[in-house]
Amino acid sequence: MLGLPINASAHGYEIDSIILYVHILMLILFLGWGSFFIYTLIRFNKKANPKANYHGVQNHISSKLEVAVVVIEAILLVGFSIPFWAKHVNTIPNRTDAIEIRVVAEQFAWNIHYAGKDGVFGRVNPKLMDPQNNPVGIDSADPAAKDDIVTINQLHLAIGRPVIVHLTTKDVIHSFALPVMRVKQDAIPGMSIPVWFTPVKLGDSEIACAQLCGIGHYRMKGYVTVHTPEEYDKWLSEQSTIGGASDDSSDSFWN
């Protein structure tokens, strides 16, 4: 309904439900106030009312309707939006079950940093950042960095496993948008913002930048691939790491 993209995340149906309820409310208001406006044009035109009525409307129907709209909006906010926010934004899933990924935005690319098999991100230092050789500033001298993987504009995930994205940027404000996952979060310079979701559909989709970020904004596009758990582990094992090459490094920056 409403022409929305397919939903590929566990929480997406809840967002779609809220969007649907808001559109229903807006449709009711549009039809209601539109009908009332047409009624007043016909009922109180100059020919039907040649003499002005200085008493005006004596009932309080409009006030009651306004109160009803406020109550419905409060229900949408308190009954749906705030609980959803508490459940899916403020509550981060158990890290032992999740795939943790760092996404570092820049003009005009998404640099994606995987922690590798040990699940520990290597140390990063902004002074080590190099657009060609080290886009996220990984310190290769850190033992925890040896199995880290970096890709550009390629985000790989496993179906059914929660994903925690630590989102940041090294220049201007960007907006990390995954329409089919119902995820969108601004990347703010100087901040690392966690975003999480659980993929529930296999396949490919796009990463978009939903914030005008410069003259090359139009080409800041990445891709998401959701694998089966076995395919994801296989893909991970085939990528080049900071500490050494692998069998297939075609999708990795470090080769």
DSSP string, 10-54: TTHHHHHHHHHHHHHHHHHHHHHHHHHHHHHHHHT-TTT--S--S
Q: Average pLDDT of 204-219?
A: 94
Residue predicted with more confidence, 250 or 31: 31
Residue 245 has pLDDT above 60, yes or no: no
Residue 33 has pLDDT above 90, yes or no: no
Residue 252 has pLDDT above 60, yes or no: no
Give the integer Cα–Cα distance in Å for 51 and 163.
69
Of 30-39, 166-175, 241-250, least confident by mean pLDDT is: 241-250
Residue predicted with more confidence, 247 or 138: 138
Give the integer Cα–Cα distance in Å for 58 and 36.
16
Give the pLDDT band (50/70/90) at residue 49.
confident
Contacts of 173 (CB under 8 A, 6+ apart): 186, 187, 188, 189, 211, 213
Domains of the chain, by residue range, sit at: 12-88, 99-238
Residue 29 half-sphere exposure toward CB, CA atoms < 13 A: 14
Residue 103 has pLDDT above 80, yes or no: yes
Domain 99-238 maps to which CATH number in 3.40.190.170, 3.10.129.10, 3.30.70.20, 2.60.40.420?
Answer: 2.60.40.420
Asked if residues 194 and 165 have their Cβ atoms less than 8 Å apart, the reply is yes
Beta bridge partners of 222: 207
Q: Average pLDDT of 44-70?
A: 78
Residue 58 has pLDDT above 80, yes or no: no
